[in-house]
Structure 1
Amino acid sequence: MTIHDDVLLSVEGLTKLYGNRKGCEDISFELYPGEVLAVVGESGSGKSTLLNCLSTAILPNSGSVTYRMRDGSRRNIYAMSEAERRLLMRTDWGFVHQNPADGLRMSVSAGANVGERLMAVGDRHYGNIRSSAIDWLGRVEIAADRVDDQPRAFSGGMRQRLQIARNLVTAPRLIFMDEPTGGLDVSVQARLLDLLRGLVTDLGLAAVVVTHDLAVARLLSQRMIVMKNGRIIEHGLTDRVLDDPRAPYTQLLVSSILQV
């Protein structure tokens, strides 16, 4: 597969097996800077396995993921050392978990959660770190007077916004999101989605968003992958896939949502 010069992430033949069971199989696609790709499908379709392989939380059995670094070089992320991958996750990438507790340190303050990420990229000035933390809390609609409160004192929606601030403070180029609005009340989901859409657009972020909610996919993404039994069965512009689904499974997904 020829990789175009401006491609940020190139996935080719990605396969992950759990014994005899397929997590995902022969997944290939490209992601461009500033593009949001939604990965949708029912439970067990392989979308979370794919996300975990892309973010190197788990390693695939075969296939490659090539990432364009800030200096323009291209690296197969699975050929990197573990230390290099960890640095990438702390700096150029972010991961927003469905359960915010998985992406936060619950026993330190909100400001420290954001500040830790800045320290990972070399910032050591306490005043600058605190100022940046307060600025980012404001950008995700958390009041400055909550900077010293621990996440355990926050609601679920506030924890998710804090996790987003923690991920975005280092100006990453690529964000992975695993059901970012899952488990939240509908009204909280709506505000969070508006916030995410604004931040992704303003910052020019590329993102891979795993969701079972087609409304989330429509609101956030430009392109969509539909997965079933570990394989991609449809791939295209989000509006086209949702308004004119071609695969019978996608048609069933869309019609089932419309009938709810």
Structure 2
Amino acid sequence: MTLSHTPLLRAAGVGKRYGSQTALQEASFELWPGEVLAIVGESGSGKTTLLNTLAARLRPDEGQILFQGRDGALQDVHTMSQAQQRLLARTDWGFVHQHAADGLRMDVSAGANVCERLMGLGQRHYGELRTQAEEWLRRVEIDPIRIDDAPRTFSGGMRQRLQIARNLVTQPRLVFMDEPTSGLDVSVQARLLDLLRQLTQQMQLAVVIVTHDLAVARLLAHRMVVMQRGRIVESGLTDQVLDDPQHPYTQLLVASVLQP
């Protein structure tokens, strides 16, 4: 992890309601540069709602989401203009969807998918763009010979790796990941997790990852928060929370994994 005196991201008392239903209540934590934070909990616990409020995809009803700009100052992402949010989303942030098709343009080439964010920032030199696309395909373990193939011709694991390349090509400081290994075969999951661990370490990425899989949290995350019914019920270092859970709900989650 990169040492810093200021958190990269701070959630302060974040809440979200849908009519009379409370989806998120008083969620607060800090994320530091280079840190991987896992948000875990069962379906309906509020973890995806929290992720979407952090990533400015969903406006909270209460609280603030503060992000450290390049100048070191913390700014509430939900008071930014839409133009500022869009710029942030294609420069300092990335978002890896659970279903790769939601994060890719399925009918254009793999190379065009990787380069789209670069072109959005003004890069236009075809040769340089193609070189960067080939390099990123290699980094995510896709043969560059597939650069002109559309993602619809790729396997599920390849699509997810392509989505990762598309997000990381602009060297973001923070990446949000929503169940990135869900639905993949076990061997494909293992390969993807190994790749994610390598890239987060090499790039010193800060990551917020939503997962229902405690093994994914243990492998990737420095810290974790456990959610139940829209509330954070426990947080701490990942190994500490998993090896010595304090909250009854966390104890139940860990026990369910350990059962034969």
TM-score, structure 1 normalization: 0.97
Match of 2:241 in 1: 241
Task: Give the 3-state SS of the residue equivalent to 1:181 in structure 2.
Answer: coil
Q: Is it true that 1:252 corresponds to 2:256 in the alignment?
A: no
Match of 1:92 in 2: 92
Match of 1:113 in 2: 113
The CA deviation at 1:125 is: 1.0
The CA deviation at 1:89 is: 0.5
Matches within 5 A, 1:1-260: 5-260=5-260
Identity fraction in percent: 65
The CA deviation at 1:124 is: 1.3
The CA deviation at 1:158 is: 0.1
The CA deviation at 1:122 is: 1.9
Spell out, residue by residue over 1:237-257, the C-alpha distance to the aligned partner (whole angstroms, 9 max, x if none).
000000000001000000000
Cα distance in 2 for residues equivalent to 1:100 and 1:239: 29
Unaligned runs of 5+ in 2: none
Cα distance in 1 for residues equivalent to 2:15 and 2:190: 34
Cα distance in 2 for residues equivalent to 1:176 and 1:141: 21
The CA deviation at 1:166 is: 0.1
Paired letter, 1:23: A
Runs of 4 or more consecutive aligned structure 1 residues displaced over 4 Å after TM superposition: none
Task: Give the 3-state SS of the residue equivalent to 1:224 in structure 2.
Answer: strand
Task: Give the 3-state SS of the residue equivalent to 1:37 in structure 2.
Answer: strand
Task: Give the 3-state SS of the residue equivalent to 2:58 in structure 1.
Answer: coil
The CA deviation at 1:74 is: 2.0
Cα distance in 2 for residues equivalent to 1:11 and 1:113: 31
The CA deviation at 1:123 is: 1.2
Task: Give the 3-state SS of the residue equivalent to 1:177 in structure 2.
Answer: strand
The CA deviation at 1:196 is: 0.2
Q: Is the 8 A contact 1:100 1:159 kept in 2?
A: yes
Spell out, residue by residue over 1:66-109, the C-alpha distance to the aligned partner (whole angstroms, 9 max, x if none).
11111222211011001110110011100000000000000100
Count of residues paired in the alignment? 257
TM-score, structure 2 normalization: 0.97
Paired letter, 1:249: Y
Q: Is the 8 A contact 1:92 1:174 kept in 2?
A: yes
Task: Give the 3-state SS of the residue equivalent to 1:29 in structure 2.
Answer: strand
Cα distance in 2 for residues equivalent to 1:248 and 1:255: 10
Task: Give the 3-state SS of the residue equivalent to 2:227 in structure 1.
Answer: strand
Paired letter, 2:253: L
The CA deviation at 1:22 is: 1.2
Paired letter, 1:165: A
Spell out, residue by residue over 1:4-44, the C-alpha distance to the aligned partner (whole angstroms, 9 max, x if none).
84210111000010111111110000000000000000000
Identify which range, 26-35 or 69-78, moves more after superposition.
69-78
